[in-house]
Structure 1
Amino acid sequence: MVKQTEFANKKVLVLGAGVSGISVACILRNLGAAVTLSDAKPAGQLGKDFSALQSAGIVLALGNQQAELLHGVEYLVLSPGISIYIPLVAAAREQGITVMSEVEVAYRLSEAPIVAITGTNGKTTTTTLVGEMLKTTGREVAVGGNIGAALSEQALAVKPDGILVAEISSFQLEGVVNFRPHIAAVLNITPDHLDRHRTMDIYQRMKEQIFNKQQAADYIILNYDDPVVRDMAKRAAGKAVYFSLTQSLAAGAFVEDGNVRISWNGKKTDICAVSDIKIKGGHNIENALAACAIGYFAGVRPEAMAAILKTFAGVEHRLEFVAEIDGVAYYNDSKGTNPESSIKALKAFDEQIILIAGGRDKNTDLTEFMQVAKEKTAHVILLGEAQQRFAEAAARQDIKNVHQVFSFDEAVTLAHSVAQPPQVVLLSPACASYDMFDNYEQRGKAFKDLVHRLVSLKP
């Protein structure tokens, strides 16, 4: 295929030996590139067997990353965890080396059209919903990016008449160059990752990279209820389509008379009743609206959208029901990695909540989070690096029954001891996981394992 020849016989340096970095290094090597895979951590700290990569001819440069690594390099490819602000990236740009993210590589390799979804919260649920909806069209569908397999891997897997659905983070958008999805969506923008992006303005600009290369034949799906996102239409070349939970729209996807509706070219189409949507919480209605808007322009039939919305039970680690013990339900929301996401999780329940929160602090404002926690929780259990700042923020809101613990085991055991039916125990950390875990998935699994252990101990 023509697109795949771009990297043949080129010298490529891939930064970051995580899942995406290893995948794209292998792909580029298979396409004939001379590939070096580098990570700032030495091999002993990475805990991986790199022998297969070395056998494939990939050069490893692990540990200290010196400017000499750039000698003769034509492409510098960044894994999502590697910031564009590191000195090696600055040096590469000074030398005229093309810097791109793994997502940009995927775009250059894909023969299929791309649907790309970003936003601070709701990306995984919306992307998964869209993937399930698109499968009903009979086309081959591949889903990847910030969810599941590396996007470059999925780009090669899907045929030209299929479709590639991508969850895209702000980290991945830092290094896009020509990335042009046929349908893009921005779900919402709230403070997140400011430890990396530095300011909200930069964070927003990174998100807007998802549609910056679109053309008039493309679509950009925007949240009408978020003023920052709604304003993005002014800078978009593609057709702007809104979705709204609160407004009836002349054109777009919205809720009216208790139904999910789409209006386009003067025609209104009912999808299903809001009450028929299986996933819990108002924020998930927003996700469903976004998915329907995307699905509509990707050729999904309304009745197929409805069937998916009525049966889709949600994604792992996002308001995931784990078990019920003595009348108390336990929910895993490990994907709640910022306050806004955890606010939505708290608001999804009518019952009083035993909340487990804390982790790697992103230094985001906690005022609204703690105000909602005061209203919704019976106990707040804090752990991780952020626990002291969270405890101080809770005290400012005069939240009662705040506990600080030092391990996940202690947190779950304490939650179990204080919870009374019909309360629920909710893990929704409002923090990253990196102080105690490799990722939010590992954190969620640890929580579920501890809950299942409690179930097994029941007489």
Structure 2
Amino acid sequence: MKNPTTFENQKVLVLGLAKSGESAARLLSQLGAIVTVNDGKPFEENQAAQGLLEDGIKVICGSHPTELLDEDFALMVKNPGIPYTNPMVERALEKEIPILTEVELAYLVSEAPIIGITGSNGKTTTTTMIAEVLNAGGQVAHLSGNIGFPASGVAQKATKNDTLVMELSSFQLMGIDDFKPHIAVITNLMPTHLDYHGDFDSYVTAKWQLQKNMTEEDYLILNFNQDTAKYLAAQTQATIVPFSTEEKVNGAYLLDGVLYFQDEPIMSATAVGVPGLHNVENALATIAVAKLTGIDNETIKEILMHFGGVKHRLQYVGEVQEVKFFNDSKSTNILATQKALSGFDNEKVILIAGGLDRGNDFDELVPDLKGLKHMVILGESTPRMVEAAEAAGVPFVTATDIADATCQAFELATSGDTVLLSPANASWDMYANFEVRGDVFLETFAQLKETVL
């Protein structure tokens, strides 16, 4: 890794731990910074903080005292989930302390070139697709960033001959300065995380940070199905490579059921291993990256044909008595569930939906629910989800939890049907996160398979 001297003897405050905060604190300490970590979780319950203290890093836990910023800090490295309205962050801004996120540190120490992927939906799937294709093509690609592997940790181990394939959230991109990927992808831009950003324009501005340092020698891959992307394409120095399922473009596109890159046929759209037109878009973005990095067509086709999805994101789980099971627990909003349903024949789908009640009405989901064979509804949002099922004319039952819902869905299914967990709601009414919710679905599937077979 590179060893910048920027941080030597500089006082740095790391605000918020989790995986990325711990990784950032350790890296900064290694680079000679005088590091203080501040995390809201009490010290006695905070294993990460305890480990940092054992290694000689100062930790302050249990609260966020703004007076801490009266110390002469040169920099704050903020956990991306902490909003800029947080009193600690506001105080840092008042004192004109620069605020970065951990991906900026990753860029500063990385010898490896970076492929950065962001977007409202599909970024995890696309990031994973790209890494698998590159690795199959003989390159060494490392998953990193928002996908669950702290970028600053992965960057330390990657060599100049490797590639960092980095999933990036809008929260992370708000805290970059010099960060520059060689290839960047924006899968799509939809109105999400508006509770954090305030409005769609601010959200787009955060996402657009991805290209701020790119030059004409770098490549920016944009979804030309969207007018927003076409508008933004004129606002960058990067070389634009578009993809589209709706028109022929000078990049990757769908035409007569075939996926192309610049007039070169790559594979049939129906051969992509995960269902849905949105996954065709993800495949097109992947093809663009693969072709730009020299991967041959046969490798691209082979990996995309056998791509099984990402865990909890329209993940194909398997079959029991010719009933297919898909785990889409990561669909925590209406848009994600709409996209999931678009890949199936509703008449053969038993949908498991419901969860945390955020006060949403599900009117906009009703057209997508029409024709479903059945729904199994659970969670705090049950009354609202029931209203949507009734409006769509879909029969439904209610369940006590995911295990119960999975068993009921299987009982309602016949050969050729699909049980789809795609909740359109967050999990926190019953489960710590969508991963735990999805794991319960996977465990129940395994029990059903063992019992029935």
**Normalized against structure 1, the TM-score is what?**
0.91
- Segment of structure 1 superposing worse, 186-195 or 304-313: 304-313
- Structure 1, unmatched stretches of 5+, are none
Provide closer, same or farther for how the CA distance between residues 344 and 162 of structure 1 changes in structure 2, counting only shifts above 3 A: same
User: Does the 8 Å CA contact 1:192/1:338 hold for their aligned counterparts?
Assistant: no
Alpha-carbon distance in structure 2 between the residues aligned to 1:32 and 1:90: 27
Alpha carbon RMSD of aligned pairs, Å?
A: 2.3
Provide closer, same or farther for how the CA distance between residues 408 and 108 of structure 1 changes in structure 2, counting only shifts above 3 A: same
Matches within 5 A, 1:119-158: 119-158=119-158
- Report the alpha carbon displacement of residue 244 of structure 1 after superposing the two structures with TM: 0.7
Alpha-carbon distance in structure 2 between the residues aligned to 1:188 and 1:209: 15
What amino acid maps onto 2:313 in structure 1?
R
- Report the alpha carbon displacement of residue 317 of structure 1 after superposing the two structures with TM: 1.6
- Report the alpha carbon displacement of residue 377 of structure 1 after superposing the two structures with TM: 4.5
User: Does the 8 Å CA contact 1:194/1:362 hold for their aligned counterparts?
Assistant: no
Alpha-carbon distance in structure 1 between the residues aligned to 2:103 and 2:278: 27
- Report the alpha carbon displacement of residue 363 of structure 1 after superposing the two structures with TM: 6.3
Partner of 2:266: 271
Partner of 2:424: 430
Partner of 2:447: 453
| 1:303 lines up with 2:298 in the alignment | yes
Provide closer, same or farther for how the CA distance between residues 202 and 390 of structure 1 changes in structure 2, counting only shifts above 3 A: farther
- Segment of structure 1 superposing worse, 197-206 or 360-369: 360-369
What amino acid maps onto 2:301 in structure 1?
A
Deviations 1:207-260 (A, max 9, x none): 1111122222211111011222222112222111110112112x1101224321
User: Does the 8 Å CA contact 1:84/1:174 hold for their aligned counterparts?
Assistant: no
User: Does the 8 Å CA contact 2:352/2:422 hold for their aligned counterparts?
Assistant: yes
The match for 1:282 among 268, 272, 277 is: 277
Deviations 1:31-81 (A, max 9, x none): 2222222222324565x3643221111222222101122222222112232
Other structure's SS at 1:69 match = helix
Matches within 5 A, 1:367-382: 367-382=363-378
User: Does the 8 Å CA contact 1:192/1:362 hold for their aligned counterparts?
Assistant: no
Alpha-carbon distance in structure 1 between the residues aligned to 2:11 and 2:86: 21
What amino acid maps onto 1:330 in structure 2?
F
| 1:246 lines up with 2:242 in the alignment | no
Aligned length: 451
What amino acid maps onto 1:453 in structure 2?
Q
What amino acid maps onto 2:272 in structure 1?
I
- Report the alpha carbon displacement of residue 147 of structure 1 after superposing the two structures with TM: 1.0
Alpha-carbon distance in structure 1 between the residues aligned to 2:298 and 2:113: 23
Other structure's SS at 2:404 match = helix
Identity of aligned residues (%): 39
**Normalized against structure 2, the TM-score is what?**
0.92
User: Does the 8 Å CA contact 2:373/2:394 hold for their aligned counterparts?
Assistant: no
Partner of 2:340: 345
Provide closer, same or farther for how the CA distance between residues 391 and 69 of structure 1 changes in structure 2, counting only shifts above 3 A: farther
What amino acid maps onto 1:203 in structure 2?
Y
Provide closer, same or farther for how the CA distance between residues 80 and 49 of structure 1 changes in structure 2, counting only shifts above 3 A: closer
- Report the alpha carbon displacement of residue 322 of structure 1 after superposing the two structures with TM: 2.3
Alpha-carbon distance in structure 2 between the residues aligned to 1:24 and 1:12: 10
The match for 1:407 among 401, 406, 425 is: 401
- Report the alpha carbon displacement of residue 439 of structure 1 after superposing the two structures with TM: 3.1
Other structure's SS at 2:370 match = helix
User: Does the 8 Å CA contact 1:113/1:181 hold for their aligned counterparts?
Assistant: yes
- Report the alpha carbon displacement of residue 420 of structure 1 after superposing the two structures with TM: 3.5
What amino acid maps onto 1:382 in structure 2?
L
- Report the alpha carbon displacement of residue 382 of structure 1 after superposing the two structures with TM: 3.0
Alpha-carbon distance in structure 2 between the residues aligned to 1:455 and 1:45: 38
Partner of 1:19: 19
Partner of 2:317: 322
Alpha-carbon distance in structure 1 between the residues aligned to 2:327 and 2:206: 29
Other structure's SS at 2:4 match = helix
User: Does the 8 Å CA contact 1:281/1:348 hold for their aligned counterparts?
Assistant: yes
Provide closer, same or farther for how the CA distance between residues 436 and 32 of structure 1 changes in structure 2, counting only shifts above 3 A: farther
Partner of 2:62: 63
Alpha-carbon distance in structure 1 between the residues aligned to 2:42 and 2:386: 36
- Report the alpha carbon displacement of residue 455 of structure 1 after superposing the two structures with TM: 2.9
Alpha-carbon distance in structure 2 between the residues aligned to 1:247 and 1:3: 46
Other structure's SS at 2:130 match = helix
Deviations 1:145-187 (A, max 9, x none): 1113111111111112322111111221222222221111111
Partner of 1:217: 217
Deviations 1:104-137 (A, max 9, x none): 2212221222111111111111111111222245
User: Does the 8 Å CA contact 2:323/2:419 hold for their aligned counterparts?
Assistant: yes
User: Does the 8 Å CA contact 2:366/2:392 hold for their aligned counterparts?
Assistant: no
- Report the alpha carbon displacement of residue 379 of structure 1 after superposing the two structures with TM: 1.7
Alpha-carbon distance in structure 2 between the residues aligned to 1:386 and 1:78: 33
User: Does the 8 Å CA contact 2:76/2:99 hold for their aligned counterparts?
Assistant: yes
User: Does the 8 Å CA contact 1:192/1:364 hold for their aligned counterparts?
Assistant: no
User: Does the 8 Å CA contact 1:338/1:432 hold for their aligned counterparts?
Assistant: yes
User: Does the 8 Å CA contact 1:140/1:159 hold for their aligned counterparts?
Assistant: no
- Segment of structure 1 superposing worse, 343-352 or 109-118: 343-352
